[in-house]
């Protein structure tokens, strides 16, 4: 029994998290289901950034490094993010991009395992991991004379063997929305003598995370997806306290130095997570990111990440349930796991043909999802719909499924105008 639109509207009326949507600028007539790629704009961001530019930069100039606390932004924003991932204050910093932070933590993890067990020379990741993670891991493996082995999800546990140095996993898969059990896999990696690095790009701000309780070794994550930090927002990094001081990370820039303003000739890494900083923080971008993270922390009085998670699961379930009423007729397959414990905050649909055009036709109707092409190994095209519980309503999920049905039923997506490719998909 699939729910009616009236029932979806009633769910919004009953939704205690509904007021959180008011925090965002959302264009009229748009159902935004791409917050997993670029989070929506918080209403506070423009005036905050404007004030950083006009007052702090414009009036106070260089004094703002101290007077406005610019120099502490990587740590202050890191402390905010720590609350979302189960880390403690002082354990997270914001810096650089996810790709760059992955290079830092993977290098540290490789050097730790190399020192204690040089026979272990394999890094394992998933073939379906986000490509930048694989590219970074490839380059790093080459640099150390290691081997990067790519496996399917079902093969991960068997790949934990005496050759494994580091297991690199993305917690929620960007294509399918499938979520790993962080505690179970971390325990298995450790029992097998390896370290584990988790990429939280599609998790932070979307699902509750417990990096301590789940015993991760290193985590990195993205600022511009569910954290709503704005395009190209800086990323974050956490290292377990047992490792954080063990090795200096390879990008030994001055902001990670123990005393950057002593201008010493030799590098001495800061103690703690500050050593994962490299160069001067992007102050304007970090001001925007802080607003984005605040928009997620605003859920704390309503039950925080646990409440957001419950809503996210209800949203994705509703959408998948509606789509399942017509999926077979149009050769669509729901590829995201329908078991709540195994699903992140998105629903991905596989289709044999026309995926790009279908998404373009949806966008023309105001339903913004995105498209990920299949390749030789993952043959089906994927239509992705991300459900950010902070600002997505139940009626949006219902309407999005209705629009998808309309696009497919009418065949409008076959119109040539929807086939034209843009640079960013
Ligand atoms: C989005 C995403 C990234 C993005 O990396 P950038 O360095 O910000 O471009 C990296 N890894 C994963 C798994 C992602 O989903």
Q: Which helix (H) or strand (E) holds 212?
A: none
Atom of ligand 1 nearest to the CA of 199: 13
CA–CA separation, 305 and 31 (whole Å)? 22
Phi, psi of 216 (to 5 degrees): -70, 160
CA–CA separation, 357 and 33 (whole Å)? 17
Q: Where are the alpha helices (DSSP H) in 195-274?
A: 241-244
* Mutate-to-test residue for ligand 1 from 95, 98, 204, 236, highest number of ligand atoms within 8 A of CB: 98
CA–CA separation, 222 and 94 (whole Å)? 10
Find residue 370's DSSP bridge partners: 384
Indicate if 225 belongs to the active site. Answer: yes
Give the CA radius of gyration of the chain.
22
Atom of ligand 1 nearest to the CA of 202: 15
Identify whether the C-beta of residue 128 lies closer than 8 Å to the C-beta of residue 176.
yes
Chain mean position to CA 403: 27
Indicate if 130 belongs to the active site. Answer: yes
Listed in sequence order, the residues at least 6 apart from 47 whose beta carbon sits closer than 8 Å to its beta carbon are: none
Whole-number Å distance, alpha carbon 312 to ligand 1 midpoint, is: 21
Atom of ligand 1 nearest to the CA of 174: 15
Whole-number Å distance, alpha carbon 235 to ligand 1 midpoint, is: 9
Decide: pTM greater than 0.95. Answer: yes
Catalytic residue among 75, 225, 275, 365: 225
For 96, 221, 332, the CA distances from 353, given in Å and listed in that order, are: 37, 32, 10
Return the pLDDT at 377: 63
Atom of ligand 1 nearest to the CA of 37: 1
Whole-number Å distance, alpha carbon 320 to ligand 1 midpoint, is: 25
Indicate if 275 belongs to the active site. Answer: no
Whole-number Å distance, alpha carbon 169 to ligand 1 midpoint, is: 12
> Which among 91, 60, 71, 410 is positioned nearest to 241, based on CA atoms?
91
Whole-number Å distance, alpha carbon 420 to ligand 1 midpoint, is: 25
Indicate if 384 belongs to the active site. Answer: yes
Neighbours of 6 (CB within 10 A): 10
Return the pLDDT at 425: 75
- pLDDT, one tens digit for every residue, the chain (425 residues): 689 999 999 999 999 999 999 999 999 999 999 999 999 999 999 999 999 999 999 999 999 999 999 999 999 999 999 999 999 999 999 999 999 999 999 999 999 999 999 999 999 999 999 999 999 999 999 999 999 999 999 999 999 999 999 999 999 999 999 999 999 999 999 999 999 999 999 999 999 999 999 999 999 999 999 999 999 999 999 999 999 999 989 999 999 999 999 999 999 999 999 999 999 999 999 999 999 999 999 999 999 999 999 999 999 999 999 999 999 999 999 999 999 999 999 999 999 889 999 999 999 999 999 998 887 666 689 999 999 999 999 999 999 999 999 999 999 999 999 988 887 87
Atom of ligand 1 nearest to the CA of 101: 7
Atom of ligand 1 nearest to the CA of 100: 7
Whole-number Å distance, alpha carbon 408 to ligand 1 midpoint, is: 31
* Mutate-to-test residue for ligand 1 from 36, 202, 222, 224, highest number of ligand atoms within 8 A of CB: 222
Catalytic residue among 322, 365, 384, 393: 384
Catalytic residue among 24, 32, 103, 130: 130
Helix (H, G, I), strand (E, B) or coil at 239: strand
Ligand 1 pocket, CB under 6 A: 97-99, 130, 132-133, 170, 174, 199, 201-202, 222, 235
Indicate if 391 belongs to the active site. Answer: no
Return the pLDDT at 379: 67
- Closest-CA residue, ligand 1 atom 13, reads 130
């Amino acid at each position: 029994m699939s729910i009616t639109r009236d029932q979806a509207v009633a769910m919004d009326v009953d939704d205690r998290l509904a007021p959180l949507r008011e925090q965002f600028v959302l264009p009229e007539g748009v159902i935004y289901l791409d917050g997993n790629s670029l989070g929506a704009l918080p209403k506070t961001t423009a005036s905050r950034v404007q004030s950083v530019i006009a007052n702090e930069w414009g009036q106070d100039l260089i004094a703002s490094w101290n007077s406005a606390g610019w120099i502490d932004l990587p740590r202050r924003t890191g402390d905010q993010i720590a609350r979302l991932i189960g880390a403690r204050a002082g354990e997270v910093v914001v810096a650089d991009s996810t790709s760059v932070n992955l290079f830092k933590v993977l290098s540290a993890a490789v050097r730790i395992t190399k020192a204690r067990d040089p026979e272990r020379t394999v890094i394992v990741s998933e073939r379906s991991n986000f490509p930048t993670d694989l590219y970074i891991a490839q380059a790093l493996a080459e640099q150390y004379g290691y081997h990067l082995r790519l496996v399917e999800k079902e093969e991960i546990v068997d790949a934990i063997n005496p050759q494994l140095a580091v297991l690199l996993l993305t917690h929620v898969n960007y294509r399918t929305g499938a979520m790993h059990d962080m505690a179970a896999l971390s325990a298995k990696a450790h029992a097998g003598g390896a370290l584990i690095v988790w990429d939280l790009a599609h998790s932070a701000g979307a699902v509750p995370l417990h990096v301590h309780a789940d015993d991760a070794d290193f985590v990195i994550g993205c600022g511009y997806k569910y954290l709503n930090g704005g395009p190209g927002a800086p990323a974050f990094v956490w290292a377990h306290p047992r490792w954080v001081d063990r090795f200096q990370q390879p990008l030994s820039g001055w902001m990670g130095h123990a005393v950057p303003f002593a201008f010493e000739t030799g590098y001495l890494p800061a103690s703690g997570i500050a050593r994962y900083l490299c160069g001067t923080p992007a102050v304007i971008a970090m001001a925007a990111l802080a607003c984005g993270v605040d928009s997620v922390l605003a859920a704390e009085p309503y039950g925080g990440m646990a409440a957001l998670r419950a809503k996210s699961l209800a949203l994705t379930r509703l959408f998948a349930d509606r789509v399942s009423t017509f999926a077979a007729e149009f050769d669509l397959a729901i590829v995201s796991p329908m078991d709540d414990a195994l699903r992140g905050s998105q629903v991905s649909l596989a289709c044999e043909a026309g995926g790009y055009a279908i998404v373009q036709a949806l966008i023309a109707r105001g339903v913004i999802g995105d498209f990920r092409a299949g390749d030789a190994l993952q043959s089906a095209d994927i239509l992705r719909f991300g459900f950010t519980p902070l600002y997505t309503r139940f009626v949006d999920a219902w309407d999005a499924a209705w629009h998808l049905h309309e696009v497919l039923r009418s065949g409008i997506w076959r119109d040539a105008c929807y086939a034209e490719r843009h640079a960013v998909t």
